[in-house]
Structure 1
Amino acid sequence: MIRIAIANQKGGVGKTTTAINIGTALAASGWRVLLIDFDPQGNCSTGLGIHQNERGASSYEVLRGDSTLVDAAIPTKVPRLDLVPATVDLSGAEIELIDFEHRTHRLDAAINAAPPGRWDVCLIDCPPSLGLLTINALVAARLLLVPLQCEFFALEGLSQLLTTFERIRSRFNPGLSILGVALTMYDKRNRLSEQVAQDVRACLGDVVFETVIPRNVRLSEAPSHGLPALIYDHRCSGSEAYIALARELIGRLPAPAKAA
């Protein structure tokens, strides 16, 4: 199973929107997808229409070892897309994990214990921080996808994330690599968006995906309806961009991808 952490310690950059819509696009392409909501806010769960009273075992129980991924995973409205939901209990996990053995490898162990072949790819929607939850996700992942907002402080935040990435790779997970950087919330009417995009490409080169995700009101509306934008309005510019991004992403995945 291919494991992709979607991370950026800065909030409001489109991590959850990216996780939901990339997961949907992969599932629509025939992949069996597991999406792990690893953010205590639970926005990924809400955005897929999973209400609080429908969340039984969650990523919190998985992290503690009280539930397996198979038991916690629930089907969504999207065929072939399963979700491990998050609850507010996850907010206390970082303090609780201090007393746990191998506290940085809890999620990795849970994914390792999943039956081989149950899912083709696992996406982990990380919280907007570089705390123990995100470290668990980066230790468990094999690939890192970074949504990056086209705004002034983007590069500063990216440098912090890349520093953490290098530390995780050197200390815990030498197999971790960067799948790509996805530019989000691009406003073609704003010169700053274009300048940030140029700066990021100049700095990182081919690591940056060609596809740019625009600012789009339909992307913002979709979560309130409990639907991915690709289902809510598949013809809007945001959905079309995520479909294109998914094609690029699939092209970068290791081969043989679906047998991994």
Structure 2
Amino acid sequence: MRVLLAVFACGLRRYSTYRVATLSSIVVNGVFGAVNAMVLLAVFDARPRINGYTAEDAVTQVFLAQSLIGITAIFGPPLDLGGRIRDGQVAMDLLRPVGFVRWWLAQDLGRAAFALLSRTAPTFAVGLALFDLALPADPLRWAALAAAVALAVLVGFGLRYLYALAGFWLMDTRGVNAVAWLAGPFCSGMVLPLVLFPDPVAAVLRTLPWAALVQVPAEILLGRTVLPGGAAGGLAYQAVWAALLLALGAALTARATRRVVVQGG
């Protein structure tokens, strides 16, 4: 445990060095959030309620989504694991006396912890300053949101870990990451709330793990969870996907490390 805490601290310290990049990310998230919010306000001006969502609900989801970009890393950065597989340094990683998945998870949680403090809170504050957001008065809903955000981080890590593991077979994961960074925002409710999609499309997107990154936390915040069981059902959905992705990552790691190939050797 002490080793994992040290890895967590290293991950936090590493990303805290990029202060200018962090500041620029807040500006970009705030600007794109404002643009997206104004587009949705125009849509809801023509139709005040869509599948139970109001304009205020949609704008709130926009800024929650922008706030979650940093901690879920839905647009990246990819795990360094992909590059280490490509250049052969993964062979040294496998010698560490710590579980492979746990090592990378601890490092990524350090990154997410820094992003929570440096990007998530300031970006959401921008939304509060510019728009009227639908914020709950019930502290239990805020507690449920905190749990949903934590599970979203685990799901985000599980997905990115699988993208990186593809390097054991493909040798280069840049193509996988490029496709994932296109599909993830679309399928998660980050670009548009899933309630704005046609019902058959939204139903399919809700079965995919990306919905656990944005749509489910947003619905928990808004008190509009469509899954059975309300907020508890949403959290259970996230927990199941997190467990499945981590279990799949562990199983593929066990298989992949039996066939480590160092490029050029």
Quick check: TM above 0.5?
A: no
TM-score by length of 1: 0.26
Higher strand share goes to which structure? 1
Please identify the structure whose Cα radius of gyration is greater: 2
Counting helix residues as a fraction of each chain, which structure ranks higher? Answer: 2
